[in-house]
Structure 1
């Protein structure tokens, strides 16, 4: 199951108090080697020492067609999935990197994490491999 970050939860509470939740011009997908947790734990995002060409990939604006919404048939909640293929740069490092989670950010570097979720299965990205998320592969669920 996906989870909202501490940043998003706090921003929503402030939104109810009258402080407008700022929507970014783009959202970015990050890959992680462990669960980043709601606190966006430092050190879990793939680092550029292990995978030098790694970078967060843009998925478009909040109002774009970058996400597809549907019912979560397994649990009866709501889910969104990526609507388009998202290709990360090839792993041009010397070793393999195992990716277990993804997250959604409001900036290409730094910024605020909005949500995170596990991949359906961990993926090992060997040197020269490309991590490619086909439509529907990145799933966030609300129950």
Structure 2
């Protein structure tokens, strides 16, 4: 199976029915995407497939063939963080951090499609990401800051 992962051509021999999350974490060692519910309902495992945010826990590998996948590891670096990552830090838009990578990826997909979204659009885009720590308002502010 061939696809692009974080800008790099990738070729793997994997069961096409394995989930993208399983392959990312257990075959490729990319740990930023996390298993939350395993049903695509919490958003902790969100990655960008093409230009849309998807939950990788319920995305079969066969659906990734020939496409581009971006994980948090491909969004920015410690030395050159993505504007969203910098804004999340500035706004302290994380607490335990479990859901953070999924929120960052969903927000990044939104900004790819709409670089200046309205607050209501940000809230709607992040609706599928659950956070038990209660930092949702900080997350919205961080996304707004990244657009400025």
Higher relative helix content? 2
Higher relative strand content? 1
TM-score by length of 1: 0.26
TM-score by length of 2: 0.26
Q: Pick 1 or 2: higher relative contact order, CA cutoff 8 A, min separation 6.
A: 1
